[in-house]
């Protein structure tokens, strides 16, 4: 008996994990990836000959599925759990942030605001049941419960920087997830935070699973954007430039708006429901510098007038000689899909970013810049509003044999490699179950 053919759309971490597991069980698997390289949002580029993620990445200690995945490939010992120093930019200056001591000295909140910040954090942190929080927005809950100062000074600007005009829509479950995960990543003293980085980049996780999936017989085709997935005689026709092929089952790991475009057989009511799922795109400028920009790993920007929401100085976290002495500064800038900035050429964007970098650190000088890059990620951050479980797509779509495992299906947690691994495993398990073992 010939094995059923499985087509997987998307060669990011989730698609590769599923491909590897399905191929490992003897199934005929083909992965279609639209870009010339697999890896999706965990793609890497070279800094001084050393691979570095295009988009900043680290792990929290709660990311147990990723650590387990790394262990499968003998890579878990190469995850270094390093202290991370956080700062906050507001009122035209940088402040230490994220530790109890720094909070005591964080004057922009005032005494009452600091109290509000601590109380709101404790209140959310102690909850294990997120369901009753679903009907509220983060901003609404903070305001209604008397935490308005914490909202106006800290959470409000951060929500605005990440979600733009959608800031007021973000569900309280999102804030709960951030606080719960973040506080679980405290170090043993409870005072600081440790986050994990894979020596040599998280690209090694991608390379390892890709290699094993191929060795198990998966056919991973890059530079193959899927254009259409149509049901035909109890199977699926998958169309891509220059051809089409037939599969018995199809797993999509692409963003939900993309799946809705690709799969016209999804019923109208599903389209109406999933059509309400929205995302931000990510602009991720990266500077290679001759000297440090600051002494923080992560600076949150609490100033709505600045054109970015975070500055992540990777070389204040990993050993600074990792890239032959070059310092690496990421700029975090999420934009809504209709934001014209996403389509601006690089030189126009640098005219926006560089002066703002000087505002945060007046000593910064363009002569420090050794190289600059701007990476763009479409549908890089799902927007999770109130009562999101109402929209949440199941792994099995209403079209029998068509499955979806996309970042927007990670809930109540937020996207991350840990959850891409978990979702890829869950998708493979669902397919195996439906295939009879
Ligand atoms: C700025 C930023 C920072 C992040 N920071 C962290 C972090 O610190 N820690 C962490 O763990 N995670 C982080 N993440 C999240 C992490 O990268 C993702 O959760 C994870 O990589 C998602 O994997 P995925 O396979 O689900 O999706 P993706 O990586 O998006 O993979 C989907 C794939 O589908 C492909 N595709 C799309 N359309 C088609 C088509 N029509 N045909 C064929 N292929 C198609 C895409 O090219 C892509 O390769 C970050 C992400 C961003 C953007």
Instruction: Phi first, then psi: give them for residue 384, nearest 5 degrees.
Output: -110, 110
The pLDDT assigned to 218 comes to 98
Which whole number is the average pLDDT over 140-147?
97
Tally Cβ neighbours within 10 Å of residue 392. 16
Query: Quick one: which atom of ligand 1 is closest to the CA of 423?
Result: 26
The pLDDT assigned to 238 comes to 98
Q: Which CATH number fits domain 5-57+202-277+391-434: 1.10.30.50, 3.40.50.300, 3.40.30.10, 3.50.50.60?
A: 3.50.50.60
pLDDT in tens, 83-142: 999 999 999 999 999 899 999 999 999 999 999 999 999 999 988 889 999 999 999 999
Residues 66, 206: contact at Cβ < 8 Å? no
Question: Where do the CATH 3.50.50.60 domains begin and end in the chain?
Answer: 5-57+202-277+391-434
**Joined tokens for residue 92:** 């035209």
Ligand 1 centroid – CA 155 distance (Å): 25
Ligand 1 centroid – CA 332 distance (Å): 15
pLDDT in tens, 192-248: 678 999 999 999 999 999 999 999 999 999 999 999 999 998 899 999 999 999 999
Question: Where do the CATH 3.90.660.10 domains begin and end in the chain?
Answer: 80-197+279-384
The pLDDT assigned to 415 comes to 94
Which whole number is the average pLDDT over 146-159?
97
Selection from 359, 362, 365, 311 nearest residue 333 by Cα:
311
Residues 80, 199: contact at Cβ < 8 Å? yes
Measured distance CA(437)–CA(435) in Å, rounded: 6
Measured distance CA(276)–CA(155) in Å, rounded: 25
Which whole number is the average pLDDT over 49-60?
97
The pLDDT assigned to 183 comes to 66
Which whole number is the average pLDDT over 33-44?
98
The pLDDT assigned to 2 comes to 75
Take atom 27 of ligand 1 and give the residue whose Cα is closest. 12
Take atom 7 of ligand 1 and give the residue whose Cα is closest. 57
Residues 427, 18: contact at Cβ < 8 Å? yes
Residue 185 has pLDDT above 60, yes or no: no
pTM over 0.95: yes
Q: State whether CATH 3.40.47.10 applies to domain 80-197+279-384.
A: no
Q: How confident is the model at residue 190 (pLDDT cuts 50, 70, 90)?
A: low
Computed over every residue of the chain, the mean pLDDT equals: 95
Ligand 1 centroid – CA 380 distance (Å): 7
Residue 259 has pLDDT above 70, yes or no: yes
Q: Is the CA virtual torsion 222, 215, 56, 125 positive or negative?
A: positive
The pLDDT assigned to 3 comes to 83
The pLDDT assigned to 343 comes to 97
Q: Using DSSP bridges, classify how beta strands 327-335 and 278-289 pair: parallel, antiparallel or unpaired.
A: antiparallel
Residue 266 has pLDDT above 70, yes or no: yes
The pLDDT assigned to 170 comes to 98
Which whole number is the average pLDDT over 18-33?
98
**Joined tokens for residue 416:** 């991350």
pLDDT in tens, 385-406: 999 999 999 999 999 999 999 9
Residue 186 has pLDDT above 80, yes or no: no
pLDDT in tens, 343-379: 999 999 999 999 999 999 999 999 999 999 999 999 9
Q: How confident is the model at residue 188 (pLDDT cuts 50, 70, 90)?
A: low
The pLDDT assigned to 182 comes to 65
Residue 290 has pLDDT above 90, yes or no: yes
Residue 416 has pLDDT above 60, yes or no: yes
Ligand 1 centroid – CA 12 distance (Å): 6
Evaluate the omega torsion of the peptide bond into residue 412 and state whether it is cis, within 30 degrees of 0: yes
Please give all residues whose beta carbon lies within 6 A of any atom in ligand 1, as ranges: 9-15, 32-35, 40-42, 55-59, 225-226, 253-254, 258, 282, 284, 377, 380, 407, 415-418, 420
């Amino acid at each position: 008996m010939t094995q059923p053919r499985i087509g997987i759309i998307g060669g990011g971490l989730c698609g590769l994990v599923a491909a590897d597991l399905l191929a490992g069980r003897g199934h005929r698997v083909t992965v279609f990836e639209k870009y010339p390289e697999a890896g999706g949002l965990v793609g890497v580029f070279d800094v001084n000959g050393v691979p570095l993620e295009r988009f900043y990445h680290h792990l929290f200690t709660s990311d147990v599925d990723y650590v387990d995945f790394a262990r499968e490939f003998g890579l878990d010992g190469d995850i270094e759990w390093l202290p991370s120093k956080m700062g906050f930019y507001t009122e035209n200056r940088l402040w230490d942030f994220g530790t109890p001591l720094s909070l005591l000295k964080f004057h922009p909140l005032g005494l009452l605001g600091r109290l509000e910040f601590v109380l709101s954090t404790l209140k959310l942190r102690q909850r294990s049941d997120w369901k009753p929080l679903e009907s509220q927005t983060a901003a609404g809950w903070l305001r209604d419960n008397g935490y308005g100062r914490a909202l106006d000074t800290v959470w409000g600007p951060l929500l605005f920087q990440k979600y733009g005009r959608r800031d007021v829509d973000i569900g309280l479950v999102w804030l709960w997830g951030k606080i719960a995960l973040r506080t679980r990543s405290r170090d043993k003293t409870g005072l600081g935070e440790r986050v994990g980085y894979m020596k040599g980049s998280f690209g090694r996780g991608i390379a390892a699973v890709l290699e094993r999936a191929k060795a198990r017989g998966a056919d991973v085709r890059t530079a193959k954007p899927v254009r259409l997935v149509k049901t035909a005689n109890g199977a699926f026709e998958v169309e891509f430039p220059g051809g089409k092929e037939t599969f018995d089952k199809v797993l999509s790991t692409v963003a939900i708006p993309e799946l809705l475009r690709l799969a016209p057989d999804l019923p109208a009511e599903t389209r109406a429901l999933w059509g309400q799922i929205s995302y931000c795109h990510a602009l991720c400028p990266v500077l290679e510098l001759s000297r440090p920009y600051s002494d923080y790993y992560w600076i949150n920007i609490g100033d709505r007038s600045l054109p970015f929401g975070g500055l992540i100085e990777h070389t204040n976290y990993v050993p600074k000689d990792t890239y032959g002495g070059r310092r690496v500064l990421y700029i975090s800038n999420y934009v809504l899909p209709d934001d014209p900035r996403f389509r601006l050429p690089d030189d126009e964007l640098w005219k926006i970013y560089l002066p703002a970098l000087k505002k945060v650190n007046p000593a910064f000088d363009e002569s420090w810049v050794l190289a600059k890059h701007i990476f763009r990620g479409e549908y890089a951050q799902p927007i999770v509003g109130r009562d999101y479980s109402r929209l949440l797509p199941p792994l099995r779509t209403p079209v029998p044999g068509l499955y979806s495992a996309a970042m927007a299906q990670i809930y109540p947690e937020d996207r991350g490699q840990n959850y891409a691994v978990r979702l890829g495993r869950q998708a493979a398990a669902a397919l195996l179950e439906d295939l009879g073992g």
